[in-house]
Amino acid sequence: MPASLGLLSLSCTVGPNYRAPDEAMPAAWGQAATPSATRPSVATTRPVVITRWWATFNDPVLDALVVRAANANLDLRQARARVIEARASRAAAGTALFPSLDVNPSYQHTRVSQNGVAGFGGGGGGGGGVGVNPQPGAAGSGAIPGGAFPSEFDLYQAGFDASWEIDVFGGTRRAIEAADADLAASVEQRRDVLVTVLAEVARNYVELRGLQRRLDIARANLAAQRETLDITRDRAKNGVTTQLDVTRAVALVETTAATLPTLEAAVRQSIDRLALLTGRAAADDDDFAAGLLRPAATPTAPAEVPVGLPSDLLRRRPDVRAAERELAAATARVGVVTADLFPRFSLTGAAGLQSLDAGNLLDWDSRFYSLGPSVRWNLFDAGRIRANIAIQDARVDRALAAYEKTVLTAVQETHTALVNYANEQTRRRSLREAADANRTSLDLARQQYRQGLVDFLAVLDAQRNLLASEDALAQSDQAVASDLVAIYKALGGGWEAETPAR
């Protein structure tokens, strides 16, 4: 058996073997329920299928924005590049298991100083010169009959050098293991970026539609208030009411009108954020902005939102999966630095052709070669290697803490999103009833004002209350949809449908 195979048969892998940590997870989510009057859309523990969760909103415009973002978002483009970089690093790490081979043809013209060295043969030279007899196998030995070596000559050489460090103690294999884990972590990090981007697209789209609805509500209330102002002015001209009622009506109209520029600016800002998320400049894309400026309803939630079990987060959320792979990489690198405690075994060799005459370079007698093993062992380094092991052990502990925090954060984010989603629906029901009551109150106030049963302040209060309750209801509808997006993001959905990085 060759020496190299014998060494490989005795090889081992130093350092700890990685084992994924076990995390205690809640048995179920506490917010699972059934639809009711206060909560028409609820989370259930049925197995979650959220590969294309945005499609549950049944909004073609949102679907198109998601596709654009998945294809053109610049954060995703950077994440893809990091995956490609990690894949190349893994390929580079794998090459250390194989021998290296260098080809080194060369030509050299040399002239030896007559004053420094009289000659390389036994023929001697000038006085004071030093005679050197070429050793067997030395360059050009025997090239000149009689053993005399010329003072000026050409040397032709063609050959190769080879070396192979045998991975006896597994340091290289641990490095490859770490590179594999780094690659897997970069893939999961890209998926995490994708989950975040898709959630941001949906959240900003929901915000846009909510702002547009609030803008419509403000405009409708403004039109009604202006109508009331016109009636009040007519009544003041006829002496039925006072100028105080007119000024109060004017103040309400202008206050409502002042909210429009703020809402319109917020609409444009939402469109600009959507443009950035989809990799374009909104200012340079009138068609993109025009399509989003056309008002549409705020996306509505489905009656049932399957969220599965808390333990599903460990296998589905990309950030949890990435943190686990980073822990695996850190563990493998303990073996990489531990291998420095042990000797390194290598095989080196060289072979080729060498001659003073290009005409006989290819002759059998022009051949040369060398082959032999070598051992390198750092016996004293003032504790550097053990310090490096301690450093890597600390990095493992840090990676484990980061993994555990990521798991806890995933559970907390999901639970918070579920609580917000449930409670916002209860709040929305109350706001809807308040808006209906304020609408009825305004009708009664107007009727009684015309009959002289109440003063004009009752009408103004009713109009203010109606605008406030309708605006709050619009914001609550937006919040319900946004909370659902937060649930899908917390569950880590959407990356399953990705196109792999090339």
Domain parsing of the chain, residue ranges: 62-97+168-305+314-342+377-497
Beta bridge partners of 100: 163
d(CA 232, CA 458): 13
Please answer whether residues 389 and 335 qualify as being in contact, where contact means their C-beta atoms are separated by less than 8 angstroms: no
pLDDT of residue 158: 86
* CA distance readout (Å), 384 to 218, 337, 341, 370, 389: 71, 10, 10, 35, 9
Please answer whether residues 388 and 340 qualify as being in contact, where contact means their C-beta atoms are separated by less than 8 angstroms: yes
d(CA 477, CA 206): 9
Please answer whether residues 22 and 403 qualify as being in contact, where contact means their C-beta atoms are separated by less than 8 angstroms: no
Write out the two tokens for 41. 């859309």
SS3 category, 192: helix
**Number of residues that this document lists for the chain:** 502
* CA distance readout (Å), 213 to 167, 357, 427, 433, 465: 67, 92, 18, 18, 17
Write out the two tokens for 80. 């893809």
Sort strands 304-306 and 42-44 into parallel, antiparallel or unpaired.
parallel
Write out the two tokens for 150. 């010329």
Q: Is 279 left (phi over 0), alpha (psi -120 to 50) or beta?
A: left
Nearest to 349 by CA among 371, 380, 376, 317: 371
Write out the two tokens for 206. 């929901």
| 3-state per-residue secondary structure call for 227-267 | HHHHHHHHHHHCCCCCHHHHHHHHHHHHHHHHHHHHHHHHH
DSSP codes, 36-61:
-SS-SSEEE-SPP--TTGGGGG--HH
Q: Is 197 left (phi over 0), alpha (psi -120 to 50) or beta?
A: alpha
pLDDT of residue 149: 59
Please answer whether residues 168 and 11 qualify as being in contact, where contact means their C-beta atoms are separated by less than 8 angstroms: yes
| 258-279: b (≥16 Cβ within 10 Å) or e | ebeeebeebbbebbebbbbbbe
d(CA 387, CA 19): 24
pLDDT of residue 146: 45
SS3 category, 459: helix
How many helices and strands in the chain, by DSSP H and E?
10, 7
Cβ neighbors of 9 (< 8 A, separation 6 or more) are 1
d(CA 59, CA 123): 98
Write out the two tokens for 119. 């000659």
Please answer whether residues 166 and 342 qualify as being in contact, where contact means their C-beta atoms are separated by less than 8 angstroms: no
Write out the two tokens for 350. 């060289």
d(CA 210, CA 267): 9
Cβ neighbors of 399 (< 8 A, separation 6 or more) are 323, 326, 327, 329, 330, 331
Query: 36 burial class (0-12, 13-18, 19+ CB within 10 angstroms)?
Result: exposed
pLDDT of residue 265: 95
Nearest to 12 by CA among 391, 331, 335, 386: 335
Write out the two tokens for 279. 């990799």
SS3 category, 372: strand
pLDDT of residue 152: 84
* Element holding 111 (H helix, E strand): strand 106-111
Q: Flag residues of the chain having pLDDT under 50.
A: 1-10, 118-146, 499-502
- Could you say which of 1.10.10.10, 1.20.1600.10, 3.40.50.1820, 2.60.120.310 is the CATH number of the domain covering 62-97+168-305+314-342+377-497? 1.20.1600.10
* CA distance readout (Å), 200 to 131, 197, 381: 83, 5, 52
Sort strands 367-376 and 100-103 into parallel, antiparallel or unpaired.
unpaired
DSSP codes, 121-190:
STT--STT--B-PPPTTSTTTTSSGGG---SEEEEEEEEEEEEEEE-SSSHHHHHHHHHHHHHHHHHHHH
Write out the two tokens for 388. 């490096």
